[in-house]
Each structure stands twice: as C-alpha cells, then as structure tokens.
Amino acid sequence: MCRSRCHSYERALALKEKIDKAAERDTHKPIVCSSLVHDHLREIIRTADGLYLDIFDAFVGTLEEELKAPASHAAGRAHGMSDTDTYMKRIEATNYALANDDGGMTRNYAQADVILLGVSRSGKTPTCLYLALQYGVYAANYPLTDDEFESGTLPEKLTSNRNKLFGLTITPRRLQHIRRERRAAGRYASAQQVNFELRTAASIFKRFKIPFVDTTVFSSEEIASRILEATGVERRVRP
C-alpha cells in the first residue's frame, strides 16, 4: 500500500517514481488508493506501475447526477473548519459507506446504523453517501440480486442484522428509464425484468417486515429524512 500526500505536479511525478521503484523491488504491485481531486495529478499517478484505485471514480458521477451539480474539483475545501470533530465523524461515516457499498464488505454490518436494501438503481448509493456526509450516519447498502429473487429470502448476514434493514423501492417506469440510460441492451432495462424485480423485492420487504420508502419522486435529502424518521437512527452530527 502506497500512502503519500500529493498536491503539485512535481510531487505527483516524484510519487509516480516511488511507486514504480516499489513495483520493481517487490513481488506484488503497490496498491495505490487515490483521493486526488485535480484531474492532471490523477492522470500522472494513474500511469504508475501499481494497482490504481480511485475512490472518487465510482461515486462523483452518481452524486453529480443526483444533486444536479457538477463537482468543483477544488482541493482543500474542508480546511479551515472550526469543528474538527464533526468533520472527522463525517469523513469516517463516508469511508464506511464507500467500503460497504453494494454489499462489498458485509462483515462490517455490526457497525452499521442502517442497511439499505433495494434493486439495482433504486437510489441506495447516493442515499448512503448523503446520510454519511450530512449526518455522520454509518449506512451500508446491499443490492437484491438473482439469489434473493429466486429464493425469496435473505442471506444470514442480513437476517442477523434485521433490525437495521430498510428498503428502497421505485416505480417500474422510473426504474426502466434510469436503467436504459445506464445499459439499454439486454434484459436489465426490460419492462418484464424491472417489474419482476420490484414485485419480488416488495414481497421480501413484506415477508421480513422491512420498512421501505418509494424513492421515485424524492431527492436524496428527502429519502434520508424519511429513513431517519422511520428508524429512529441517531444523527452523529447535525447539518
């Protein structure tokens, strides 16, 4: 794991050289977890001989779309904050949301304040990030997939945290529109598949008595508010 700060063109080049040398020296390539904001610096590090993981790549576009606002790509926006404790709580909650997105690390569910369930593209990721950034809530999410649709049940890792589960649903027409923008070909965005998934998800919510909200006409802010109100999850920080 290569860890270093990089705020200038010269330092980016120096860091790239450091990564390349580590790759030559070690058996395994260095793992580079990047949170660089400036695109020109990211491209330099991306060309280094390491396993490049950009924590923003998978989420900035989603957040821009949801919030209807472009990312500023400006570094240092958090500097000068007077409440360091609040800032750190938000960062820790955001790191948790990123690590536990789409069922990525289910062994950490004991730490979760809430675990969102729903079909693909129902709004799970932006809602988790909003809860983390705005309230410091530890929000994980788990996508319902063919395994759950075929069995009509949930894996043990979810049933053992049943009191933390909260469902997200959406109208078939809206979901089909969203999926077509992402992947028009195949059954993913077909009316038949969309209706089947939503119908099965609703059955699972009912069977396990999981509260849920329809995200069709609500913003991430409104969805988050409804989740907090329904679950009683305590806000770690106040907006």
Each domain of the chain, given as residue ranges in start order, spans: 1-57, 82-231
The domain 82-231 having CATH identifier 2.60.40: the answer here is no
How far apart CA 61 and CA 56 sit, in angstroms, is 9
Contact 210, 166 (CB under 8 A): yes
Indicate whether 3 pLDDT > 70. no
**pLDDT category of residue 213 using cuts at 50, 70 and 90:** very high
The pLDDT assigned to 146 comes to 94
User: Is pLDDT larger for residue 66 or for residue 47?
Assistant: 47
One-letter amino acid for residue 71 of the chain: A
How far apart CA 167 and CA 125 sit, in angstroms, is 13
Per residue in 78-136, pLDDT tens? Answer: 544 457 888 889 989 999 998 999 887 888 899 999 999 999 999 999 999 999 989 99
Indicate whether 14 pLDDT > 60. yes
